[in-house]
Amino acid sequence: MTKQLYTERRFMRRIEKAWAFIESLVNRFAKSDFNPLYHLGTLTIFMLVVLIATGAYLTIIYRPGLDVAYATVEKIDSNWFGSLMRSVHRYASDAMILLTILHLVKMFVSDKFWGQRWLAWTSGWIMLAVTWLVGTMGYWLVWDQRAQWMTEYMMETLAGTSGLTYVAPDIASRTFSNFVIILFLHVFLPLIGFLGIYIHGLRLSRARWWSPRWVSVQAVVGLVVLSLIKPTQSFAPADLSTLIESVPMDAYYLGFLPLIDKMGNVIFWGLAIFIGGSLFLLPWLASGRDLGPALVTDAKCTGCVLCYAECPYDAIRMVQRDDDSGYQKLAVINAAQCTGCGICVGACPTNAIELKGGYNSEQTFNAVRGAARREVKEGRTVTVVFASQRALALGGLPDSLLNPPLPMGEGVGVRAAVSGEKAAVAVAGWGGDEAARVVTAVLPSVGAVNIEWIKSLLNGEGARDVVILSHPYDDALNREDAHWILNRLHLRPALVTTGLHWLEVTPGDARTVAKFLDDLHNDHAQSKKTAPVLPPVKGRDKLVPSLVSALVGTVLLLGLFALALPLDVKAGMSAAENSALRVAVDTRGKVQLANIPEGVTLPEGADPEKIFGGGHYPMSVRVLVDGATILDETYKPSGISGNGRISVLEFLEIEPGVHQVEVWVKDDANDYRLSYLGNVNFERGRVVVLAYEETKDAFVVRP
- Tell me: the pLDDT tens digits for 479-501? 888 999 999 999 988 888 888 99
Q: Kindly report the CATH number assigned to the domain that includes residue 634.
A: 2.60.40
Has residue 180 been placed in a domain? yes
* Statement to judge: residues 188 and 257 lie in one domain: yes
If asked whether residues 518 and 665 sit together in one domain, one would say: no
Left if phi > 0, otherwise alpha if psi is -120 to 50, otherwise beta: which for 237? beta
Q: Quick check: is 225 in a domain?
A: yes
* 394/498 same-domain check: yes
Residue type, 523: D
* Structural domain includes residue 448: yes
Domain count, the chain: 4
CB atoms within 10 A of CB 30: 20
290: Cα within 13 Å, side-chain hemisphere: 26
The pLDDT of residue 540 is above 80:
no
Q: Can you give the CATH number for the domain in which 431 is found?
A: 3.40.50
Q: Which sign does the torsion angle of CA 341, 445, 204, 320 carry?
A: positive
Identify the DSSP state of 456: I
Question: Are residues 330 and 197 located together in one domain of the fold?
Answer: no
| 425 within some domain | yes
CA dist., res. 122 & res. 528, Å (int): 52
Is the predicted pLDDT of residue 410 greater than 50, yes or no?
no
Q: Is residue 582 part of a domain?
A: yes
CATH of residue 300's domain is 3.30.70.3270
**Rounded-to-integer distance, Cα 404 and Cα 420, Å:** 10
Provide the pLDDT for residue 597.
63
* CA distances, 625 to each of 653, 681, 687 (Å): 11, 12, 15
Q: Is residue 560 part of a domain?
A: no
Do residues 578 and 245 make contact, with C-beta atoms less than 8 angstroms apart? Answer: no
Number of other residues whose CB lies within 10 A of the CB of residue 645: 16
Residues near 23 by beta carbon (within 8 Å), at least 6 away in sequence:
35, 37, 38, 472, 475, 506
Is residue 107 located within the same domain as residue 152? yes
Euclidean distance between CA atoms 628 and 645, whole angstroms: 29
Residues 273 and 298 in one domain: no
- Main-chain dihedrals φ then ψ at residue 607, nearest 5 degrees: -95, 105
pLDDT band at 408 (very low <50, low <70, confident <90, very high): very low
Report the SS3 class of residue 436.
Answer: strand
**Residue 594: domain span:** 578-702
278 and 163 housed in the same domain: yes
Do 83 and 146 share a domain, yes or no? yes
**What is the DSSP-derived secondary structure letter of residue 447?**
G
The residue from 235, 262, 283 where one domain ends is: 283
Q: CA 402, CA 362: separation in Å to the nearest integer? A: 22
Q: How far apart are the C-alpha atoms of 156 and 264, rounded to whole Å?
A: 12
Instruction: Choose among 358, 238, 242, 221: nearest CA to 289.
Output: 358
For residue range 277-293, what is the model confidence (pLDDT) as tens digits?
999 999 999 999 998 89
Give 492-529 pLDDT, tens digit per residue.
Answer: 888 888 889 999 999 999 999 999 999 888 877 777 77
Q: Report the half-sphere exposure of 198 (CA within 13 A, side-chain side).
A: 5
> What pTM was computed for the model?
0.90
**What does each C-alpha distance from 455 to 66, 182, 280, 693 come to in angstroms?**
75, 64, 47, 92
- For the cut 60, the answer to whether the pLDDT of residue 414 exceeds it is no
Domain termination site, one of 227, 260, 283 = 283
Question: CA-to-CA distance for 492 and 330, rounded, in angstroms?
Answer: 25
CA dihedral of 12, 13, 19, 24, whole degrees rounded to 10: 170
Q: Indicate whether 199 and 119 sit together in one domain.
A: yes
Q: Assess whether 331 and 207 both reside in one domain.
A: no
Report d(CA 40, CA 45) in Å as an integer. 9
